[in-house]
Amino acid sequence: MSPPKVATGSYAVYGWWPASSGYNDQAVFWIWTTNGWASKTVSQRTNGGKWVYLDTYKMGAWDDWNVEVSNQSSGTGYDIADAIKVVRQ
């Protein structure tokens, strides 16, 4: 079975991390879009243990999508990268 074909379009991006008060309160996610890098800052101290909507972005029809969690933040605590989900809209 071959993987599904990816098309240029709008995609909702979600992050997942466990719940902990010791995680970063200003974690920065970087998402590669058709317009370049976009950033989204979220508190990883809340909403742990479930999919957290980061935003919807226009992403291309290529296979080099990137979603990163930065270790450069003005917040305090651990930066966590458990899972990312991308859903076509």
pLDDT tens-digit profile, the chain (89 residues): 666 667 889 999 999 999 899 999 999 999 999 999 999 999 999 999 999 999 999 998 876 789 999 988 889 999 988 999 999 99
Reported pTM: 0.88
Q: Determine contact, residues 40/53, Cβ cutoff 8 Å.
A: no
Compute the Cα dihedral for 40, 65, 72, 36 and give only its sign: negative
Instruction: For residue 53, give the nearest of 10, 8, 6, 16 by alpha carbon.
Output: 16
Torsion of CA 16, 31, 68, 45, to 10 degrees: -40
Distance CA 85, CA 41 (A): 17
